[in-house]
Amino acid sequence: MNNAKRGQSLLVIVLLISVVFTLVATASYRFTAETQTSKLQEESVRTLAAADSGIERGLQIAANQTSPAEVRNYQQAFSGSNVTLAGINQIASTITITKDSIKEFTTPTINKDEQYLFYLFDYPTGTSYFRNDFKIYYASSGESCNATRPPALELTLIYGAGNGTGKVLRQIVDPCRDFTISPKVATSDTDTVRTGATCSPAACSVAGQSFNQWLLFQPSNLMDSADNPKTLIVRVLFAPTNLGFQTSVAADRFSAQGQRIEAKAVSNSGVSKVVRLFRSNPQLPADFFVTTF
């Protein structure tokens, strides 16, 4: 009888020990997993901060570039770019700056009465003037002259012979020119105030962005043969919009509208983060050409 009781007690003790070991093992595993997650999060934050530092250094490098080759392409490891951070692999981490010609380009949202300066030559070298036809896109779907007032555009082409910029031509593009709507642009000259066209049957797509209105801009028809286009200032009227620019011929390319800066940071444990930024060519404020009383 006593032997049976001792056997039962031993069995209970073994079961209790097993339960205790299981609980300890589970708690230990959870603690280890949480510790690893915490370290991974810390490593991720450190690497992202390093990539941000790389972008800041990339902006400094881009601002100090002078030769055409430097302005166009640059790549350097953190170790050669004066970016030193603890826990970051200085060799595997890189800063890349590129400036490539493009077939299409979209802007961020341009607010009402603000403008965007689109370059029709290679900045800052002052070469490769773009004289061919191209398309300008604006307005989002759902905006129409029968409902929400779509934006209109004021186009100011600056051009001149050779490297000169002594000539200016201005046009207005208002899709609501022929509608009874307010506000609208006065239509004293249909050559000066154009209507453009509506994307049909579906929205136009430029670089993955949708637009509802477009027009064909033809610099060569507006200038003498000896003139070269320099810049096109696009001012937005009545409502905010993004802008899209696209060459009419597949083989044509616009000059780069800025530099793309990419910083890739890699930690010593292999965690990597990439931050990208677009550094636009210099822009002029809207009130440079427009005065409000």
Domain ranges of the chain: 104-255
Q: Is 0.75 topped by the overall pTM?
A: yes
pLDDT the model gives residue 43: 85
Q: Residue 279: which H helix or E strand, with range?
A: strand 272-280
Q: How confident is the model over 246-266, as a mean pLDDT? A: 94
β-bridge mates for residue 102, sequence order: 254
Q: Does 213 or 22 have the greater pLDDT score?
A: 213
Q: Please state, rounded to an integer, the average pLDDT across all residues of the chain.
A: 83
Structure tokens at 104: 């299409």
Task: Give the list of residues 6+ apart from residue 80 with CB closer than 8 angstroms, or none.
Answer: none
Residue 233's closest CA among 286, 176, 161, 173?
286
pLDDT the model gives residue 97: 92
pLDDT band at 69 (very low <50, low <70, confident <90, very high): low
- Res 190 pLDDT > 60: no
Q: What is the largest CA-CA distance in the chain?
A: 119
- Res 31 pLDDT > 60: no
- Res 150 pLDDT > 70: yes
Q: Residue 219: which H helix or E strand, with range?
A: helix 219-222
pLDDT the model gives residue 152: 93
Q: What is the pLDDT of residues 121-140, one digit of tens each?
A: 998 888 889 999 999 999 98
Q: Is the peptide bond before 183 cis (omega within 30 degrees of 0)?
A: yes
pLDDT the model gives residue 166: 79
pLDDT the model gives residue 293: 42
pLDDT the model gives residue 283: 93
CA-CA distance, 227 to 219, in Å (whole number)?
10
- Res 192 pLDDT > 60: yes
Structure tokens at 237: 């009227």
- Res 9 pLDDT > 80: no
Give all strands of the β-sheet with 258-266 in edge-to-edge order.
73-77, 94-98, 258-266, 272-280
Q: What are phi and psi of 151, to 5 degrees?
A: -70, 155
Q: Does 34 or 244 have the greater pLDDT score?
A: 244
The single-letter code of the amino acid at 44 is: S
pLDDT the model gives residue 111: 94
pLDDT the model gives residue 86: 81
